Amino acid sequence: MTDSQSSVLDRTAERLAAATPVPLARKVRGLSDKGLAWLFITPTMLLLLAINIFPLIWAIYLSFTNYRANRPNEIVKNVGLSNYQRILGDQDIWIAMQATAHFVFWTIALQTLIGFTLAYLIDRKFRGHAFWTTVILVPMMLSPAVVGNFWRFLYQPQIGLFAYAVSFFTGISPTEIEMLSNVHLAPWAIIIVDTWMWTPYVMLICLAGLRSIPDYIYEAAEVDRASHWRQLWSITLPMALPFIMLAVLFRGIENFKMFDMVNLLTGGGPGSTTEVASITLKREAFEKWRTGYSSAFAIILFVAVFGLANIYVKVLNRVKNR
Amino acid sequence: MSAAAHSVVEPGLTSKRVAGAIVILYAVITMVPLFWIFATSFKTPPDSIAYPPKILFEPSIEGYCNLFTTRTRQTAEYIASLPPATSFCDETTRKRNMVIAGQSNFLPRFVNSLIIAFGSTFCAVFLGTLAAYGFSRFKVPLADDLLFFILSTRMMPPIAVAIPIYLMYRELGLSDTALGMILLYTAVNVSLAVWLLKGFIDEIPREYEEAAMIDGYTRMGAFFKVVLPQATTGIAATAIFCLIFAWNEYAFAALLTSGTAQTAPPFIPTIIGEGGQDWPAVAAGTTIFLVPILVFTILLRKQLLRGITFGAVRK
């Protein structure tokens, strides 16, 4: 609809609204609105109830049993809270949580640092910045599974491009750069791929933050002869902070759930050095078939993520209200 | 704002050049793995595992041949007894002492990806548009709670959802079916669709519909004649985001499909040749799989920020 049309509509609406007696207008506008609202919203709610809530309730039920999905005919026993108790005492689970924490911490630290720096540089608005921004954004749109799988090839000790590049710059023999089978390097192998994929995500949100800072604040700072560093610390960072925090929370939730890329790159190995929570969950549920036990772990993870989501919504609202 | 005032904060030429150089360097480095996928797809298997890695090589479509076919090893005598090769793929395969035995599973898996991605996108956008309009225009009791509930379904780790879904689908006979995957992806995507579309519909002035309704349209009529045409851009952007999610999804597909409904992401890593992974074929499959996303990313670049933050940040 063009502007002239819409302004005609606006004017018509105003005139009619002024001319129409109020009760009649309300009647016309409010006609079966309530029914329509439910008609529009109910299908979505029903689908989410069927595909998300019903299975969740089922999982809660299973978490109190010793059910095993590969033995459907066995008698299911109610075991009370023992699954939960065992999880809290399970050494493997704690190792998995440590691996997850290491992964989440370093990916967020690197992505925030690199992402903000890139956004800051792009905001210098050099020639061609729009084009290069689009180029940088490409990795985050790709399938983490399909691309993660290909990184396995890049990480091959001798023939892989990554090992070759590292040995080219450091002089270390390319056969010794075993990114995926060395227990010290594997956790970094997944951090590198995740940082490669998701730095653009943090960058894009930071860029929106930087662009939301009005020019006049910098102008005032220039008048006061504040140095560039001073401007960065006192204006840019504090004003972009809500955006940075938003990016951190989104990445935190996503990486806490991380499965696809790690599953294809290392499968949790070597040993369990890269066994993040989702990988443990998959092993328990779909390899060991301890359905009841893994359901309990899933519920614990869900409660943890839900807690983060709550924080996220609170931060989101605070960002909005500023 | 006057030009003079603006020049105060305009970065200097040197600072611009340095910033540009660093950003371009990063962009080039970040493109190397993607370039390598593309290059490897045109290498022969021996070239792909050469040391040092070959940057210059004679391009070959052997990877693409291997991606679409299955091959069996034969004796030299048997191959010599065959009629002359009819295609390039035939010829390259025979040079490796093999003959093409049939079609590989790549094409059916790729078609599954298309069916499931488009099917679930259509359903999610359809349901999402209705619900978003409902939340945007009507006073829904507990609207904020319902919206948060819709979003929170997205917060669950996929494996946690997959355990009960696996059992439920087994009971319902939906395991390894396109319908089951479409339902699941629709449920995951509808949360994104509702949040994004609510943002887009909120931006359409209510007065348009009210004017249309005074002109004699019903609420439903105003929705179709006024709101939908205004929301086209938003609906298109939302659809592309849903499409990309469904296209890229791996965890559910790997756990809930194994054969007839398997999509490309769990299939591509399983492509093996003789003596390990057939990297040129994997690269060929990856390239074919990624190209649509590249196109969509370029189309979407203006809406990207909104899509990845569930509409929380708008430019």
Residues of A (271-290) whose Cβ lies below 8 Å from B: 277-278, 281-282, 285-286
pLDDT of residue B3: 39
Residue A9 has pLDDT above 70, yes or no: no
Q: Identify whether the C-beta of residue A259 lies closer than 8 Å to the C-beta of residue B157.
A: yes
pLDDT of residue B53: 85
What tokens does B120 get? 């679930």
Question: Containing domain of residue A31, as a range?
Answer: 3-62
d(CA B35, CA B30): 9
Q: How many CB atoms lie within 10 A of CB B303?
A: 20
Amino acid letter, B217: Y
Model confidence at B102, in pLDDT bands (50, 70, 90)? Answer: confident
pLDDT of residue A222: 87
pLDDT of residue A25: 44
Q: With contacts defined as CB-CB under 8 Å, which chain A residues touch B229?
A: 1
Nearest residue of B to residue A154 by CA position?
A: B33
Which of B113-127, B152-166, B215-229 is the most confident on average? B113-127
What tokens does B56 get? 């210059």
Model confidence at B169, in pLDDT bands (50, 70, 90)? Answer: very high
Q: How far is A183 from chain B (nearest CA, A)?
A: 23
Q: Summarize pLDDT for B223-275 with one digit per residue, the tens.
A: 888 899 999 989 998 999 999 999 999 999 999 998 889 999 999 998 887 77
Q: Do A144 and B250 touch (CB under 8 A)?
A: yes
pLDDT of residue A158: 81
Q: How far is A186 from chain B (nearest CA, A)?
A: 18
Same domain, yes or no: A56 and A88: no
Model confidence at B141, in pLDDT bands (50, 70, 90)? Answer: confident
pLDDT of residue A70: 84
Amino acid letter, B314: R
What tokens does B178 get? 């396109």
**Which residue in B276, B262, B52 sits closest to B177, CA to CA?**
B262
Same domain, yes or no: A55 and A123: no
d(CA A150, CA A224): 52
pLDDT of residue A17: 53
Model confidence at A18, in pLDDT bands (50, 70, 90)? Answer: low
Is residue A243 in a domain? yes
Is residue A118 in a domain? yes
Q: By CB neighbour count within 10 A (0-12 exposed, 13-18 middle, 19+ buried), where does A152 fall? A: buried
A167: which DSSP letter?
Answer: H
- Nearest-5° Cα angle at A118, A113 to A120: 95
Q: Identify whether the C-beta of residue B49 lies closer than 8 Å to the C-beta of residue B274.
A: no
Same domain, yes or no: A315 and A230: yes
Please tell me which of the candidates B127, B134, B163 has its beta carbon nearest to residue A294: B163
**Distance, C-alpha A53 to centroid of its chain:** 21
Segment A19-24 mean pLDDT:
49
Is residue A53 in a domain? yes
Is residue A76 in a domain? no
Residue A218 has pLDDT above 70, yes or no: yes
pLDDT of residue A4: 47
Is residue A74 in a domain? no
CATH number of the domain enclosing A197: 1.10.3720.10
Which of B131-135, B160-164, B271-275 is the most confident on average? B131-135
Same domain, yes or no: A152 and A39: no
Model confidence at A14, in pLDDT bands (50, 70, 90)? Answer: low
What tokens does A198 get? 């998701």
Residue A132 has pLDDT above 90, yes or no: yes
Backbone angles phi, psi at A10, to 5 degrees: -55, -50
Total domain count, chain A: 2
Listed by start position, the domains of chain B span 3-41, 45-104, 107-263+290-308
Residues pairing with A78 in the sheet: A65
Same domain, yes or no: A20 and A130: no
Q: How far is B200 from chain A (nearest CA, A)?
A: 16
Model confidence at B84, in pLDDT bands (50, 70, 90)? Answer: confident
What tokens does B122 get? 């259509």
Place of tokens 């983490």: A144
Same domain, yes or no: A37 and A118: no
pLDDT of residue A10: 56
pLDDT of residue A28: 46
For chain A, report the end-to-end CA distance as a whole number of angstroms.
33
pLDDT of residue A319: 66
Q: Identify whether the C-beta of residue A167 lies closer than 8 Å to the C-beta of residue A110.
A: no
d(CA A27, CA A33): 10
Same domain, yes or no: A125 and A273: yes
Q: Identify whether the C-beta of residue B52 lies closer than 8 Å to the C-beta of residue A164.
A: yes
Question: Best of B10, B109, B126, B156 to disrupt the A interface by mutation (most A CBs within 10 Å)?
Answer: B156
For A9, what's the count of Cα atoms within 13 Å in the CB-facing half-sphere?
Answer: 19
Is the Cβ of B189 closer than 8 Å to some Cβ of chain A?
A: no
Q: Summarize pLDDT for B176-220 with one digit per residue, the tens.
A: 999 999 999 999 999 999 999 998 999 899 888 889 988 888 888
Q: The pTM is what?
A: 0.87
Residue B315 has pLDDT above 70, yes or no: no
Mean of per-residue pLDDT scores for chain B: 87
d(CA B260, CA B71): 21
d(CA B311, CA B305): 8
Question: Best of A1, A34, A48 to disrupt the B interface by mutation (most B CBs within 10 Å)?
Answer: A48
Is residue A260 in a domain? yes
pLDDT of residue B81: 85
Please tell me which of the candidates A44, A246, A260 has its beta carbon nearest to residue B131: A44
Segment A52-60 mean pLDDT:
89
For chain B, report the end-to-end CA distance as a whole number of angstroms.
20
pLDDT of residue B119: 96
Same domain, yes or no: A120 and A197: yes
Cα–Cα distances in angstroms (integers) from residue B159 to residues A278, B17, B153, in the given order: 6, 47, 13
Which of A185-199, B141-155, B275-289 is the most confident on average? A185-199
- pLDDT above 70 coverage of chain B, percent: 97
Model confidence at A96, in pLDDT bands (50, 70, 90)? Answer: very high
- pLDDT above 90 coverage of chain A, percent: 39
More confident residue, A158 or A207: A207
Q: Do B315 and A143 touch (CB under 8 A)?
A: no
Collapsed DSSP state (helix, strand, coil) of residue A283? helix
Backbone angles phi, psi at B73, to 5 degrees: -80, 140
- Helices and strands counted in chain A (H then E): 16, 0
**Distance, C-alpha B209 to centroid of its chain:** 35
**Which residue in B197, B146, B231 sits closest to B310, CA to CA?**
B197
Same domain, yes or no: A99 and A178: yes
Same domain, yes or no: A32 and A123: no
- Classify domain B107-263+290-308 by CATH number: 1.10.3720.10
Place of tokens 């004796």: B75
Q: Do B265 and A219 touch (CB under 8 A)?
A: no
Mean of per-residue pLDDT scores for chain A: 85
Segment A255-278 mean pLDDT:
90
Is residue A87 in a domain? yes
What tokens does B159 get? 């494996």
Place of tokens 């629709």: B186
pLDDT of residue A206: 93
